[in-house]
Amino acid sequence: MKALLLAGVVALLVAMLGTPLLIGDLRARGIGQQIREDGPSGHFSKAGTPTMGGLAIMAAAVVGWIVAHVFATFTTRGLAGMLTICAAALVGFIDDWLKVTRQRSLGLNKRAKVIGQLVVALGFALVAVTWLKVDTHLSFTRFNSLGLQLGKVGWVLMAVLVFVGFTNAVNLTDGLDGLAAGSSAFTFVAFTVIGFYQLKHEVMYRNPASLDEAVMAAAMIGACTGFLWWNAAPARIFMGDTGSLGIGAAVAVLALLENVDLLLPIIGGLYVLETLSVIAQVASYRMFGRRIFRMAPVHHHFELLGWPETTVIVRFWILAGLFTALSLGVFYADFLAHGGTA
Q: What percent of the chain has pLDDT over 70?
A: 92
pLDDT tens-place string over residues 302-313? 999 999 999 999
* pLDDT beyond 60 at 45: no
Q: In this structure, is the dihedral angle defined by the CA atoms of residues 307, 230, 220 and 54, taken in order, positive or negative?
A: positive
Mean pLDDT of 158-180: 96
Question: What local confidence, expressed as pLDDT, does residue 46 receive?
Answer: 61
Mean pLDDT of 176-194: 97
* pLDDT beyond 60 at 174: yes
Q: How many CB atoms lie within 10 A of CB 4?
A: 23
Distances (CA, A) of 323 to 38, 328, 330, 337: 31, 9, 11, 21
Confidence grade of residue 105 (pLDDT, cut at 50, 70, 90) = low
Q: Which class for 102: exposed (0-12), middle (13-18), buried (19 or more C-beta within 10 A)?
A: exposed
pTM given for the model: 0.93
Question: What local confidence, expressed as pLDDT, does residue 31 receive?
Answer: 77
Mapped onto helix, strand or coil, the DSSP state of residue 28 is helix
Question: What local confidence, expressed as pLDDT, does residue 55 receive?
Answer: 97
Confidence grade of residue 127 (pLDDT, cut at 50, 70, 90) = very high
Contact 260, 310 (CB under 8 A): no
Instruction: Name the residue ranges covered by the structural domains of the chain.
Output: 2-337
Residues forming beta bridges with residue 32, ordered by sequence position: 50
* pLDDT beyond 70 at 197: yes
Residue 11 Cα to chain centre, angstroms: 16
Confidence grade of residue 38 (pLDDT, cut at 50, 70, 90) = low
pLDDT tens-place string over residues 274-322? 999 999 999 999 999 899 999 999 999 999 999 999 999 999 999 999 9
Peptide bond just before 297 cis, omega within 30 deg: yes
